[in-house]
Amino acid sequence: MKSKELFPSIFSRHAAAYDRRLDEIMSRGEARGRQRVIDLVEARPGMRILDLACGPGNLTRRLAALTGPGGEVIGVDLAPGMIEVARSRQIPSARFEIMDIEELSFGDASFDAATCGHGLQFVPHLEAALGEARRVLRPSAKFAASVPVGSPSHGAQEVLDAVVDRHLPPRPRAVDQDATRATVSDAGALSGAARQAGFASARVEVIEEKVVWRSAEHLVALFTSWWDCAARMERLDEDQRAAFVDDALETLRARYPGMLETTARNLVLDASA
C-alpha cells in the first residue's frame, strides 16, 4: 500500500489519542524537537505562517498564540480526522485545511514562515514537499522541520520494545517510503535535499529529548494510544491486546517500580528561502 492510502486513515482513526499524548508532552516542555521548530521561525505578531502536516494542531496553536492578533497560521494535513480535531479547538487566528503538502494550493511567496513537526518522513516524494514549502515562502523566510530518527538503545524504551516484539505484528509500512526515510534520517542528506529544493541555506541540528513518566501505567497508557502502536494493536483480538498490555506493565514495573523515562533523537532542519 502507498503512503497516501495508508497513513491518512491510520492517523484519522487515532487523531484524538495522538492529540492527548503530544499535547501532554509539549505542555511539559519535553517535545524539544518540535519546540526547536517553533523557536527557529521566530514567530511574532502579524506573521502569516504555514504549518505543514499539522496533525491535530499542537504546533499550530502555539504558533497562533505568538502571531496574533493580526497574524494568521494555516495548518494543513492529509488526514481528515486530524483536521477535524484541530478545527474543534477553535484556535483564534488559525484555520485548518485538508491538503497534500506535496501539492499546496497557495500562491507563490504567500507566507512569512513555514513549519513541519514530524511529518516529512511520511511523504513519498520529499523533493516535491520541500519544493512546495520553498515556493510558498517569501524571500529570506524561514522553514523549520523536525524529524524523529529513533531512540538510543537503552532504558525503558528498550524494555518496552522487547515486549512489542513479543506480541505485536510489524508496523504498517508503505511501499513508497524508503527513499524519503533514508534522506530524512541523515543530517547531510536532509540539508542537501533542502538546498536542492531551492532553499538558499539549510543546516540540520540533532536534538535529544527526554520524556519522564509517572509510572509504568502512565507510559503504557499513552504508548498504546500512539498511532504506531495503536495501528499494530488493531490487528489483534481483545485477549491478545490485553496480554500485550499486561506483559508490558509487568515487565516495566519489575525494572522501574516508580518513575521512568524514555529518550528520543530528532533531526531539526533550519532552512531559509
pLDDT tens for 123-153 read 999 999 999 999 999 999 999 999 999 766 5
The pLDDT-based confidence of 34 (bands split at 50, 70, 90) is very high
What is the reported pLDDT for 124?
97
CA distances from 171 to 6, 91, 128, 227 (A): 12, 33, 25, 10
Q: Looking at residues 46-70, what average pLDDT do you find?
A: 96
Average pLDDT, the chain: 95
The pLDDT-based confidence of 225 (bands split at 50, 70, 90) is confident
| Cα 27 off chain centre by | 15
What is the reported pLDDT for 154?
66
The pLDDT-based confidence of 68 (bands split at 50, 70, 90) is confident
The pLDDT-based confidence of 42 (bands split at 50, 70, 90) is very high
Q: Is the pLDDT of residue 69 over 90?
A: no
Question: Strand, coil or helix: what is 51?
Answer: strand
CA distances from 81 to 9, 34, 77, 86, 251 (A): 8, 21, 9, 9, 34
What is the reported pLDDT for 155?
84
What is the reported pLDDT for 150?
76
Task: Find the helix packing angle between 126-135 and 187-196, rounded to 10°.
Answer: 50
Q: Looking at residues 253-271, what average pLDDT do you find?
A: 94
**148: DSSP letter:** E
For 98-121, what is each residue's pLDDT tens digit?
A: 999 999 999 999 999 999 999 999
For 152-203, what is each residue's pLDDT tens digit?
A: 656 898 899 999 999 999 988 899 999 999 999 999 999 999 999 999 999 9
Kindly list the strands in the beta sheet with 111-117, ordered across the sheet, starting from the edge strand earlier in the chain: 94-98, 72-77, 48-52, 111-117, 137-148, 260-272, 201-213
pTM metric for this prediction = 0.95
Q: Looking at residues 198-211, what average pLDDT do you find?
A: 96
CB-based contact 164:228 (threshold 8 Å): no
Three cell numbers written together for 260: 521512568
Q: Looking at residues 47-51, what average pLDDT do you find?
A: 98
**Run of H or E residues at 72:** strand 72-77
Three cell numbers written together for 159: 524494555
Task: Residue 141: name the closest of 101, 192, 206, 201 by CA.
Answer: 201
From the CA atom positions of the chain, what is the Rg in Å?
Answer: 19
Task: Residue 102: name the closest of 48, 38, 53 by CA.
Answer: 53
What is the reported pLDDT for 62?
97
